[in-house]
Amino acid sequence: MKQITAIIKPFKLDDVRDALHEIGIHGMTVTEVKGYGRQKGHTEMYRGAEYVVDFLPKLKLEIAIAENVVEPAIEAIINAAQTGKIGDGKIFVTNIEQTIRIRTGETGEEAL
């Protein structure tokens, strides 16, 4: 089992969710986060004063999936979230040692 963590632009959430749904991935956890990378933030004006926004709003998606679905999931996320501009985000893939569904006690891939 693997966990995909994807950091994406907020307005791309519906596109990513639809793309994952099309390949049979129906569950994810979404968290509103702030951060920066090469994008570094930007300057905005408020009431005539200029200020720097260092941390930009992003969404963090966490998806636990079977190992055989990792590559299609990554491809779906990239195709749906990509704008071609700086700040499109990142995808991280990590191993999951164990999964347990609390309600039924199922373990492993059956718990996904």
- Tens-place pLDDT, residues 1-47: 999 999 999 999 999 999 999 999 999 999 999 887 776 666 666 67
For the chain, domain boundaries: 2-111
Contact 8, 62 (CB under 8 A): no
Contact 37, 87 (CB under 8 A): yes
- pLDDT tens-digit series, residues 77-106: 999 999 998 889 999 999 999 999 999 999
Instruction: Look over the chain and give the mean of its residue pLDDT values, rounded to a whole number.
Output: 91
- Residue 48 clears pLDDT 80, i.e. is over it: no
Type of residue at 57: P
Q: pTM for the full model? A: 0.85
> Which CATH class, in words, describes the domain spanning 2-111?
alpha beta
Contact 51, 44 (CB under 8 A): yes
